[in-house]
Amino acid sequence: MTDKYLIEPDVNFVREIVGLGGDTLKKCFQCATCSVVCPISPDTKPFPRKEMIAASWGLKDRLVGNLDIWLCHHCGDCTTNCPRGAKPGEVLGAVRSYAIATYAVPKTLGKWVNSPKFLPILLLIPTAIFIVLGLITGLLDFTPGGEEIAQTKFFSTWLVDMIFIPLAVWVVAIFAMGLKNFINDIHENALLEGKTDKKELDFVGLIKALIRVIPTILKHDKFSECTENKDRATAHLLVFYSFIGLFIVTNIFFIHLYILQWHGPYSQLHPAKWLANISGVALIIGGALMIWNRLSKTDQTTAYKDWYLLGLVLGLGLTGMLTEITRMAGLAGITYWTYFIHLVFVFNLFAFLPFSKLAHLVYRTVAMAYNEYSGRQ
């Protein structure tokens, strides 16, 4: 007997998908070319044809909790081969942005992050926090003296930790709430669509599956299976590993400062400094390559959400390295203000992580782990 489903179209959802970069959605006439040419689409319930149907009909509940929108790596093969120019990859990218905003709270921040008119507010938030809290505590000194140039004289490490440690707790809490709903949704959706026969969700099994997919993520194997955007793998790897390197450096210096009581600035010969500089250069090169790839692919849609993240990534790398170079050159004023701008970029990238496109690092990882756990081929 044919399965019966209650269809509840949401016209506003369709409009939002169009506004987030899926403006070619209505060109799709369901030829299924996209599912045929996609090199990473599963054999069982392949994407993205069914997602294009759901998006056209405004079936929000069938898309937001659909793990397949995250298995898509935006290869571009479907967009290039689509005979109608419907650009399925861009549509799924728009759906992912909508899903990120759905799972993150407060919703207002999600709207701000995806709208260019609110960019000044996003930049003013950390600026105001830094100045107000810095002046109240006396940990921000706009006129640091002395011959030695050290960022801590201008912006105390205590002020940095006072702001960014609670911020880390905030980000983890938002992701925790979002992931709880996300995992339940993709499990229910997988049962509904026959992607799994596991009635009860086994979290131990899901964690084991996560461990199994980590090598795939670290090697970016899925990018290697693509043809149109295969060159994106290099840029993504550079940015991905630069963030890992900078995370390691941050933790090393945290131990140096608060446990070993070794205060900076540290020698350029310090191994952590080497890692920091290499990661910084990789971040700049990776960010620049991403922007170049976007500009060169004129047949693919690039929305504001993409430029916002790319601008933050490149800005973070440039201001970080410029801060280091000007300090070594003895340019105190430029060093301190560049460092201030750098921290504004760090705040934006970090604080709004659950609301920006970068949240795909978390959601896609979990979706890939669930797909592995489900046993779907």
pLDDT in tens, the chain (377 residues): 455 666 777 888 899 898 888 888 889 888 989 999 988 888 888 899 999 988 988 888 889 989 999 998 888 888 888 898 889 988 999 999 999 989 998 988 888 998 899 999 999 999 999 999 999 999 998 878 767 788 888 888 889 989 999 999 999 999 999 999 999 999 998 888 888 888 888 889 999 999 999 998 888 887 777 777 777 788 899 999 999 999 998 888 888 777 777 766 677 777 888 999 999 999 999 999 999 988 887 777 778 888 999 999 999 999 999 998 998 888 888 999 999 999 999 999 999 999 999 999 999 999 999 999 988 76
Question: Beta partners for 155?
Answer: 140
- The reported pLDDT for the residue numbered 6 is 67
pTM to 2 decimal places: 0.88
- The reported pLDDT for the residue numbered 5 is 62
11-103: CATH number: 1.10.1060.10
Amino acid at 112: W
Q: In the chain, where are the structural domains located?
A: 11-103, 107-374
Pairwise CA distance, residues 326 & 149, whole Å: 10
